[in-house]
Chains A and B, each alone.
Chain A
Amino acid sequence: MIRHLFKLIWNRKRSNFLLITEIFFCFLVLFAVLSLIVYNVRNYNKPLGFEHENVWLLTMRPDTDSTALNRQTQEQIIQRAKGFQEIESMALTNSNAPFAFSQMNNDVSYGGKEVRANEYLVQDNFDQVMRMQVSHGRWFGQQDNASHHYPIVINKALQQQLFEGEDPLGKLLPRNDSSSYQVVGVVEHYRPSSEYTAEEPGFFNRIYLPRNESEFYGELLIRVKPGMGVEFEERMVKELSGIGKGWTMEVATLEKMRQNKEKMAKVPMIALAIICGFLILNVALGLFGVLWYNISRRNSEIGLRRAVGAASGQVYRQFIGEVLVLATFGLVLGVAFAIQFPLLQVFEVESTVYFIALGIAVGLIYLLAIGCAFYPSRQAAAIHPAIALHEE
């Protein structure tokens, strides 16, 4: 029977061309949207590599251009901040703090291999503020003060791309000047952009103020004790503003920043899903209409099939089967196109994401086809053979 159905659909390929095309495009749109959703969901379920709860970001904007003066004032601000009982720990960072809309990257090379990686400039106790776990080696600290090299902690993604199977600890990576970075530790994960972003290669470079005399770091990450709210925030900003007179000080919780990033990731996803939903609804209505029309045109064929021995259930299954075969033709074209994405590693997305999206899209198209064919097929099965045979 399956051979018969394929033969029937193939011989009717001209009249079924539009339906097959419709299914093909519907599959492609579904595949695209599902790839995006699967990509985001898979990233969402991966660990961020840090704890953002109860962490605030204090952004300080001085009113002068004098780095020396600004650093002096900043030192006083930090000393005062350390005096707050409500604060557990703090660390300066550059503008690409977790969930910030800022990025900084640098090329790092080792053994002839070069990788573009995100660079995060952070102070020694950043690991405590963000509660990060070093899986191999250590975090940088006072013991690196005398080192000729710049101590860095890399993430696993960078380790895999740059060192492959080699142990990265102690390895020197040349900087633009004559100095080098030295890998002192590895963290498993670090995804500061958003929960929906994939892990990218990155490394933490140490902010050691005596060495970075010409730099001013205006972002201070503060871990407060649980339960601290607006009241403490206002008090803290008021007191710190008293020290940095004329400075602009803003506090944002990382949770708030995370929510903003989440919205940015979700909005296009939801918009695309809605558009896709409408498209699928249109395709479904189109499919339903065409199937209904096709089946009503085939009354005499239905009558004939009943006459030669088809039970009503077999007629029903035949029409469902025909729609599945039709969908298969559309899907074969669609899958042949979509499979190029994982094969060619388009957008540098993991192949698994594409394969999962492809599988779900195929399943959904078959479900859609069955859903659309269900009622017309039932109607076809209910046609009285004696009446159908007299319709020509």
Chain B
Amino acid sequence: MFSVFRDLVRYNIEFTIGLILVGIMVVFAGLSFFAPMDPSLIYMAPPDQPPSTQYWFGTNSRGQELFWQLSAAFKNSLQFGITVAVLSRIISITVGLAAGYLGGWVDRVLMFVNDIFVAVPIFPILVLFYFVLRNNMDSFTMALILACFGWPFDARLIRSVALGLKHREFTRHAVFAGMSTRKVLVEEHLPYVMPIVFATFMNNMLWSIGMEVTLAVLGFTNINNPTIGTVLYWANSHSAMVVGVWWWLVIPVILIVMTFLGLFLLAMSMNEYIDPRSRLRRMGA
């Protein structure tokens, strides 16, 4: 695993750029642990100050220092993305390995369910959840809901790998040696699908953070919790662009683009490394 990583850094410029971008954002988000103030408090600084040596990213109309505000927002959003990715990886690994290895009716049922999840448009469903839950919809609930919709593409990918593994010699040996199905899957097959899991992890984060941004911008989340989306929400609601507080929008947008590009480059270069045929199916989502 480590040598793969080294090769990627050395020979794949996309991977290196992605790593640098994501690295910067992780450090930036990590700074929020050292924030001098609680990011949810308002009017802690003079409002509408442009970027300066004192306020690096300026301050917003709510009297918050954007630097610390954004740092907390990125920490929350990255955390959110990781939560969704971990939860949905668990589902997709379980479903993918089970469907691929067990085959037969288990496979058919799981893939049938899989196809249904692929076909349901997620955005209206999320809005529906917000509509019925309103303020009970915290970021963990939302992560759960997104995880429930974020697995089918990757489960299918893992299934196709598991199908191939099933007929490999070492699987037969393991089965003849009396290994239980669970053991075969966890100890023999899981290591083979881990690279896919890592690559799709990034893609899944992209997707879930994007969804969070969208919902938050519309005001359909807890708007007092700083995230990438709620920063934009407040900027919009104060008409930042119109009143000339451009940094309130431009800086977060630049940071978002950096994060997304970084995650995407990591996912893509890993994908290409694992299997040039694998396609990025997230193009719409």
Asked if chains A and B come from one complex, the reply is no
